[in-house]
């Protein structure tokens, strides 16, 4: 079963790129005493993810932050090097924290993983967005297969 509103986010660790190279960020570091919008894409550099999903959060970052959000984070089942390169390619700057869920462990802990082996992509995270306050999920938006509506930055803004 997937994560639901009112539940605590599971514990875990993400890969992040630091000034000195690959590092880690715990869920405690990400969520404790903060309001966070975390969204997930099936894969960095994929069409909808690169052209719509991530850019929407970059474009609307100031509006999202103005609604009391401390952190906007993008998660994908990719390694830290790919997430860093994708973030630089898309110009996320300080607006979006890029989180690598390299083995898909966090997606699985959320109950939001799926098998994309038919596309040569292995296990991936579904396309979703969550609004989290101090580690507690306030809003869950999971896309149906092939859709991009409820997890968009615009939809999340309406739910903040």
DSSP string, 41-68: ES-TT-HHIIIIIHHHHHHTHHHHHHTT
**Residue 3 domain-assigned (yes or no):** no
Of 49, 82, 98, 132, the active-site residue reads 49
| CATH for 60 | 3.40.30.10
74 is catalytic: no
pLDDT the model gives residue 122: 67
**Residue 1 domain-assigned (yes or no):** no
Q: Taken in order 116, 131, 8, 29, is the CA torsion positive or negative?
A: positive
pLDDT at 133 over 80: yes
**Residue 68 domain-assigned (yes or no):** yes
pLDDT the model gives residue 109: 97
Spacing of C-alpha 3 from chain mean position: 14
Q: Which helix (H) or strand (E) holds 159?
A: helix 153-159
CB 35 within 8 A of CB 66: no
**Residue 31 domain-assigned (yes or no):** yes
Share of the chain above pLDDT 90, in %: 78
- The domain in which residue 133 lies consists of 13-159
pLDDT in tens, 55-76: 999 999 999 999 999 999 999 9
pLDDT at 4 over 80: yes
Number of domains in the chain: 1
**Residue 122 domain-assigned (yes or no):** yes
pLDDT the model gives residue 115: 75
Q: Which helix (H) or strand (E) holds 156?
A: helix 153-159
**Residue 2 domain-assigned (yes or no):** no
**Residue 5 domain-assigned (yes or no):** no
pLDDT the model gives residue 96: 96
**Residue 62 domain-assigned (yes or no):** yes
CB 97 within 8 A of CB 54: no
> Which of 11-15, 27-31, 53-57, 137-141 has the least mean pLDDT?
53-57
Share of the chain above pLDDT 70, in %: 98
pLDDT band at 20 (very low <50, low <70, confident <90, very high): very high
pLDDT in tens, 91-121: 998 999 999 999 999 999 999 987 777 776 7
């Amino acid at each position: 079963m997937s994560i639901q509103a009112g539940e605590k986010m599971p514990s875990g660790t993400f890969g992040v790129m630091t000034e000195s190279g690959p590092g880690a960020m715990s869920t405690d570091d990400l969520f404790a005493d903060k309001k966070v919008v975390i969204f997930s894409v099936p894969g960095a550099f994929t069409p909808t993810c690169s052209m719509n999903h991530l850019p929407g959060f970059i474009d609307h970052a100031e509006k999202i932050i103005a609604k009391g959000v401390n952190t906007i984070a993008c998660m994908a089942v990719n390694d830290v090097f790919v997430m860093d390169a994708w973030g630089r390619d898309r110009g996320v700057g300080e607006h979006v924290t890029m989180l690598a869920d390299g083995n898909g462990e966090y997606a699985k802990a959320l109950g939001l993983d799926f098998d994309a082996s038919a596309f040569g992509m292995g296990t991936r995270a579904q396309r979703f967005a969550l609004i989290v306050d101090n580690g507690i999920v306030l809003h869950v938006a999971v896309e149906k297969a092939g859709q991009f509506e409820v997890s968009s930055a615009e939809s999340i803004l309406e739910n903040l």
